[in-house]
């Protein structure tokens, strides 16, 4: 009788690993700490972080200590746009191996509630999301994460692009919420990182007229590079009038407009324009949100034109599609990286991201 060979044991690693970590202790107060990172538990991986993208939400916590109801009340590790290399596996992990480069989807749900079971896990009331108080983010050398939210990267995707799959997931989710299809016209208000990933997602979905609106020529030039067919600087003209002229054809101005308008800047003026830009029967998708929830909007006009209004909160089931699109060359995330900082320069990276919005798109921190 022959014996059945046993499955190979999971690679072992030291019980704990020390991680040099950047920790927010107060407004504009980042301190270095050495923290212990344990061995991964069942269905977990330990990742050696390589790249962290500095997101606008990270900068807002850094400069204001809160975003809406989420308040930094204890030391917090920032960073949620992250990729790295798998260093150790917990029991039962089969989807990745030690040495794999992975992108980490920064939020994981309970997997048991009604929202999770419907596939709407981004709305899970028990979501754990990096760098959202009180959950720590990824700005350290190592971290532990569930294996089902660690996605192996093909060699064709750079480390920088691996980290930027997170903002791309937002753009893909926005395009899905907007039901963008072949031949559609879209307007994207705000040409920052989320605006530019939304532009690319809309293009990948088949949109043929893609109008980017922003206040900075630098960002509009990059938006055109990644897929915008038209750009409008709102400092020098009336975006709504120009959008209607671009889309009216033989229609009266009252019936011109885009099929889908996206708000990605998080301001009241762009929110108002996003509701006004769609054609009758079109869609408006709010990706960013104004800082003040008590806002005055022309809902009557949008309703009388039968504009469908949709909100976006993070994303769900977008990472596999994001990886496939970047690997195929359909989407270029490397183009968004304008500045890089070493891990030791993390405070400088945050200061630069805060003060140089007119000259930068995506600031990347090279952890290792």
Per-residue model confidence as pLDDT tens digits over 149-197: 999 999 999 999 999 999 999 999 999 999 999 999 999 999 999 999 9
Residue 8 — pLDDT band, cuts 50, 70, 90? very low
Q: Does the pLDDT value for residue 5 go beyond 60?
A: no
Our CA angle for 9, 12, 15, nearest 5°, is: 140
Range with the lowest mean pLDDT among 6-20, 180-194, 215-229, 332-346?
Answer: 6-20
Over residues 238-253, the mean pLDDT reads 94
Q: How many residues does the chain have?
A: 368
Residue 330's pLDDT is: 97
CA pair distance 124, 315, nearest whole angstrom = 11
Mean pLDDT of the chain: 94
Over residues 129-145, the mean pLDDT reads 97
Residue 270's pLDDT is: 96
Q: Does the pLDDT value for residue 4 go beyond 70?
A: no
User: Is 276 or 5 the better-scoring residue by pLDDT?
Assistant: 276
Q: Collapsing DSSP states into helix, strand and coil, what is residue 15?
A: coil
pLDDT, tens digit, 9 for 90 and up, residues 86-134: 999 999 999 999 999 999 999 999 999 999 999 999 999 999 999 999 9
pLDDT, tens digit, 9 for 90 and up, residues 29-81: 999 999 999 999 999 999 999 999 999 999 999 999 998 888 999 999 999 99
CA pair distance 232, 146, nearest whole angstrom = 43
CA pair distance 196, 335, nearest whole angstrom = 10
What does DSSP assign to residue 32? E
- What angle in degrees, to the nearest 10, is found between the helix axes of 319-328 and 165-177? 110
CA pair distance 9, 22, nearest whole angstrom = 34
Percent of the chain with pLDDT over 70: 96
* Residue 166 phi, psi dihedral angles, 5° rounding: -65, -55
CA pair distance 73, 83, nearest whole angstrom = 27
CA pair distance 59, 166, nearest whole angstrom = 16
CA pair distance 226, 241, nearest whole angstrom = 24
CA pair distance 286, 118, nearest whole angstrom = 22
Residue 9's pLDDT is: 45
pLDDT, tens digit, 9 for 90 and up, residues 290-309: 777 777 888 899 999 999 99
CA pair distance 98, 11, nearest whole angstrom = 8
Q: Does the pLDDT value for residue 1 go beyond 60?
A: no
How many Cβ atoms are within 10 Å of 12's Cβ, its own excluded? 10
Answer for the pair 241, 233: CB distance below 8 angstroms, yes or no.
no
Q: Collapsing DSSP states into helix, strand and coil, what is residue 337?
A: strand
CB neighbour class for 345 (10 Å; exposed up to 12, middle 13-18, buried from 19):
middle
| Domain boundary assignment for the chain | 16-164+333-366, 171-311
In the chain, DSSP finds a helix count (H) and a strand count (E) of 11, 19
CB neighbour class for 363 (10 Å; exposed up to 12, middle 13-18, buried from 19):
buried
- What angle in degrees, to the nearest 10, is found between the helix axes of 268-276 and 239-247? 20
Over residues 263-285, the mean pLDDT reads 96
pTM of the model: 0.94
16-164+333-366 and 171-311 have identical folds: no
* Residue 62 phi, psi dihedral angles, 5° rounding: -65, -40
**What contacts 24+ positions apart, CB below 8 Å, involve 116-123?**
119/316, 119/317, 120/316, 121/316, 121/317, 122/173, 122/313, 122/314, 122/315, 122/316, 123/313
Q: Collapsing DSSP states into helix, strand and coil, what is residue 352?
A: helix
Strands 44-54 and 362-366: antiparallel
Fold of 171-311: Rossmann fold (3.40.50)
Fold of 16-164+333-366: Quinone Oxidoreductase; Chain A, domain 1 (3.90.180)
């Amino acid at each position: 009788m022959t014996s059945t060979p046993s499955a190979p044991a999971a690679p072992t690693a030291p019980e704990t690993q020390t991680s040099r970590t950047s920790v927010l202790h107060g407004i504009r107060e980042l301190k270095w700490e050495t923290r212990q990172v344990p061995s991964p538990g069942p269905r977990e991986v330990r990742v050696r972080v390589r790249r962290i993208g500095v997101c606008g939400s990270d900068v807002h916590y850094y400069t204001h200590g809160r975003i809406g109801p989420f308040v930094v009340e204890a030391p917090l590790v920032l960073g949620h746009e992250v990729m790295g290399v798998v260093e150790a596996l917990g029991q039962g992990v089969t989807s990745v191996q030690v040495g794999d480069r992975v992108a980490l989807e920064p939020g994981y749900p309970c997997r048991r509630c009604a929202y999770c079971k419907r596939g709407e896990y981004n709305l899970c009331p028990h979501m754990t999301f990096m760098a959202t108080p009180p959950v720590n983010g990824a700005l350290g050398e190592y971290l532990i994460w569930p294996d089902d939210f660690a996605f192996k990267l093909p060699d064709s995707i750079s480390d920088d692009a691996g980290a930027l799959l997170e903002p791309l997931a937002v753009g893909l989710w926005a395009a899905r919420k907007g039901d963008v299809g072949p031949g559609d016209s879209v307007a994207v208000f705000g040409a920052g990182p989320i605006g530019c990933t939304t532009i690319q997602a809309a293009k990948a979905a088949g949109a043929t007229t893609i109008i980017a609106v922003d206040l900075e020529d630098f960002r509009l030039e990059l938006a055109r590079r990644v897929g915008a067919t038209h750009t409008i600087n709102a400092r020098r003209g009336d975006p709504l009038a120009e959008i209607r002229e671009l889309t009216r054809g033989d229609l009266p101005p009252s019936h011109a407009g885009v099929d889908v308008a996206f708000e990605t800047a998080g301001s009241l003026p762009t929110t108002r324009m996003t509701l006004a830009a769609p054609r009758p029967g079109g869609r408006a998708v709010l990706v960013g949100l104004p800082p003040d929830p008590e806002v005055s909007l022309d809902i009557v006009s949008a309703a009388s034109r039968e504009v469908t209004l949709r909100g976006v909160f993070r994303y769900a089931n977008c990472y596999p599609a994001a990886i496939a699109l970047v690997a195929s060359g359909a989407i270029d995330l490397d183009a968004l990286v304008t500045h890089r900082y070493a891990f030791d320069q993390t405070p400088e990276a945050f200061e630069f991201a805060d003060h140089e919005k007119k000259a930068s798109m995506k600031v990347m921190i090279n952890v290792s």
